[in-house]
Amino acid sequence: MAAKKAPVDSLPTTSANPMAEKIRAAMSGTVVSSKRMTVTVESKDAPTPATAPSHSATPTAKALASKRYSQARAAAVAGHGATPEPHATNAAAGHGGGDVHWTYEGETGPQAWGKLKPDFNLCAIGKRQSPINIEDGNTLQGPAEPVQFAYQPSNGTVVNNGHTIQVDVQGDNSITVRGSNYRLLQFHFHTPSEEQLNFKRFPMVAHLVHKNNEGQLAVVAVLLDEGASNPMIDKVWTYMPLDTGDRVRMPQGMLNVSELLPTDQRYYQFMGSLTTPPCSEGVLWMVMKQPVTLSKAQYKLFTQLYPNNARPVQPVNGRPVREAQ
């Protein structure tokens, strides 16, 4: 922004400029001779009222504006100050929503997500939303390619993001399905399970969020039923941060997400969306048919922080759901 500065007491005693006359009249008799007041006159590069026409910017002003634009663009490219990407947030980085406050109940609950922000409108009008109820009688039953899991001991950071407990994963972990390789970014938990099987909800579900080189997302949902203690969940809960926004690093190499997978890796597959704002569509979902277990104590610990963080099921709208046999 360019600016010209002129001391008030150097303005001409008479002027054809009404603004200068008003300034001088207002300051008459109040300006101490030993002090000077500076009036800033904005150039054309800055927004001005319609009633106050401005002159063209000086070359210096244009150069400054160009420099600031270049600096801002460079910062954006580098990722500084950028708005975090939503979950896969649920989006690629987990639960998102930016600076808009959303919840799982009340006035900012799921029924209102689509109205909280224009970017969230798919939460209300989308036709391929998640989660859904999966009915065996309505699925496409037959052979389906196995999901090739390539998980190994890795590093992880446990995050309390205000909507769930999430584990950001570092390391070479991926799945291969439909001829594409998807890298594991993070996994997080919902209670009760967001997905329903034949109208049944499970106590919890873990969502494993992956992303390929084209930016497409693939989520593996592992249902959690009450039973024996889960060693993988014990590792995560041990480093669970209690305060929103807090992060705790797990010991190096402790995290092996393959420990969370069921032995029977057949699945239901469908195209859906993120289950949190902005509810972006085009997400490949694979819901494991066989649940794994967690203990009552493990379940209680999570629900003391998040007693209900599940989006209600959404209309299927005629989408095909493949059931791998």
> What CATH number is associated with residue 172?
3.10.200.10
Domain that holds residue 50: 1-10+34-80
In a domain, 96, yes or no: no
**Is residue 131 in a domain?**
yes
- Enumerate residues 6+ apart whose C-beta is below 8 A from 310: 104, 131, 190, 191, 192, 193, 194, 201
Distance from C-alpha of 43 to C-alpha of 63, rounded to nearest angstrom: 13
Domain count, the chain: 2
Is residue 74 predicted with pLDDT exceeding 50? no
Amino acid found at 231: P
Q: Residue 134 and residue 321: Cα distance in Å, rounded?
A: 8
Tens digit of each residue's pLDDT (9 = 90 or more) over 247-297: 999 999 999 999 999 999 999 999 999 999 999 999 999 999 999 999 999
Catalytic machinery residues: 163
Averaged confidence pLDDT in the chain: 80
In a domain, 189, yes or no: yes
User: What is the reported pTM?
Assistant: 0.72
* Residues 273 and 159 occupy one common structural domain: yes
- Per-residue pLDDT at 18: 52
Nearest alpha-carbon partner for 260 in 189, 323, 194, 309: 189
Task: List the alpha helices (DSSP H) in the chain.
Answer: 18-27, 59-78, 113-116, 122-125, 231-238, 296-305
Whether the pLDDT of residue 15 is over 50: the answer is no
Q: What is the pLDDT of residue 195?
A: 98
Looking at per-residue confidence, does 216 or 63 come out higher?
216
Amino acid 325: pLDDT: 76
Q: Please tell me the distance from the alpha carbon of residue 135 to that of residue 220, in angstroms, as a whole number.
A: 18
Residue 265 lies in a domain: yes
Contacts (Cβ under 8 Å, ≥6 apart) of 106: none
Judge if 112 and 236 occupy the same domain: yes
One domain, residues 110 and 73: no
Sequence-ordered list of residues with C-beta below 8 angstroms from that of 167, at least 6 positions apart, any chain: 156, 157, 158, 159, 186, 187, 188, 236, 250, 255
Question: Are both 42 and 113 inside the same structural domain?
Answer: no
Give the whole-angstrom CA distance, residue 41 versus residue 133. 63
- Assigned domain for 23 exists: no
21 class by beta-carbon count within 10 Å (0-12 exposed, 13-18 middle, 19+ buried): middle
